[in-house]
Amino acid sequence: DAEMARFFTDSTGTIQADPVTVNVPLVNWNEALRVVEDDEDLLCDLISECITELPELLDHLENALHNEDAATAYRYAHTTKAAARTFGISALFEQADLTERAAALNDLATVREHLPKLQSLVRQVIPELDERLNRQV
């Protein structure tokens, strides 16, 4: 109806997505299984490590920002990107890549801008990883 369309249309006339959050899977399990050559046990080991490691990486990245340490920020963004690649988490991979590139340029202001998005993506992906792990146990 016209009233609803106006509600979801921005000033340029472009229809915006429904604001209701849809749980779209972030992990590409086919890619994750390909990486581990279909070894479910290895996949479970990697999931366990990743559930613990991802939040720690972002804590370290945040500390690096606090210390104005671009080299360390780069290292943690790079490691986050590698974890995202392992599980085919393209949204996290892309965000970590942008963060890594900003840190490489010593652009800590941009790294700070990217951190909340990285944190949000990690908060979204952890339950997905955990669910897969619990299904396998």
26-136 sits in which CATH class?
A: mainly alpha
Burial label for 52, CB within 10 Å (0-12, 13-18, 19+), is: exposed
Give residues with Cβ within 8 angstroms of 99, minimum separation 6: 61, 73, 77, 80, 110, 111, 114, 115, 118
In the prediction, which pLDDT does 12 show?
54
* Nearest of 37, 126, 112 to residue 83 by alpha carbon: 126
In the prediction, which pLDDT does 103 show?
98
In the prediction, which pLDDT does 136 show?
72
Residues β-bridged to residue 9: 15
Q: Are 121 and 91 in contact (CB under 8 A)?
A: yes
Residues β-bridged to residue 106: none
In the prediction, which pLDDT does 130 show?
95
Please list the rounded mean pLDDT of every run of 10 residues in the chain (137 residues): 46 48 81 95 96 97 98 98 96 98 98 97 96 84
Kindly list the domain boundaries of the chain, sorted by start residue.
26-136
In the prediction, which pLDDT does 135 show?
87
In the prediction, which pLDDT does 24 show?
81
In the prediction, which pLDDT does 137 show?
61
| pTM, to two decimals | 0.80
